[in-house]
A and B are shown apart, each in its own frame.
Chain A
Amino acid sequence: MNYGLLLSTDNIDFMIHRLVPFNFFGTEVWITDSHVCVLIVMLILVIFSIIAGNKFRKALANDQMEPDGFQNFVEAIIDFLQNTVGNAMGKSADRYFNYIATIFMFILVSNISGLLGLRPPTADWAVTLPMALITFSLIHINEVKFAKSPLALWADKCSPLPPWLPIWLPINIISDIAVPISLSLRLFANVLSGTVMMALIYGLLGWIATAWPAALHVYFDLFSGAIQTYVFCMLTMTYIASARGEA
Chain B
Amino acid sequence: MGEFNQAFIYGCSAIGAGLALIAGIGPGVGQGIAAGHGASAVGRNPGAKGDIMSTMLLGQAVAETTGLYGLLVAMLLMFVKPFKI
Are B75's CB and A192's CB within 8 A? yes
Contact string against B for A residues 7-48, beta-carbon threshold 8 Å, 1 for contact and 0 otherwise: 000000001000000000000000000000000000000000
Q: Does A207 contact B (CB under 8 A)?
A: no
Interface SS of B by simple majority = helix
* B interface residues, tally (CB under 8 Å): 18
Please classify the interface of chain A as helix (H, G, I), strand (E, B), loop, or mixed, using the class held by over half of its residues. Answer: helix
Residues of B within 8 A of A235 (CB): 58, 62
The reply to whether A3 and B71 contact each other, CB–CB distance below 8 Å, is no
Contact of B64 among A5, A186, A230, A234 (CB under 8 A): A186
With A5-B78, A186-B64 known as contacts, the answer to whether A193 contacts B71 (CB < 8 A) is yes
Q: Mark A213-237, 1 if CB is under 8 A from B, else 0.
A: 0000000000000011011001100
User: Which range contains the number of A residues in contact with the other chain?
Assistant: 10 to 19
| Least CB distance, A12 to chain B, in whole angstroms | 9
Residue of B nearest to A230 (CB): B57
- Which of B6, B61, B72 is within 8 Å of A3, CB to CB? B6
A residues less than 8 Å from B75 (CB atoms): 192, 196
Which B residues are in CB contact (< 8 Å) with A186?
61-62, 64-65, 68
Is the pair B61, A185 in contact by a Cβ cutoff of 8 Å? Answer: no
Q: Is A189 an interface residue (CB 8 A)?
A: yes
Which residues does A use to contact B, with CB under 8 Å?
3, 5, 15, 182, 185-186, 189-190, 192-193, 196, 227-228, 230-231, 234-235
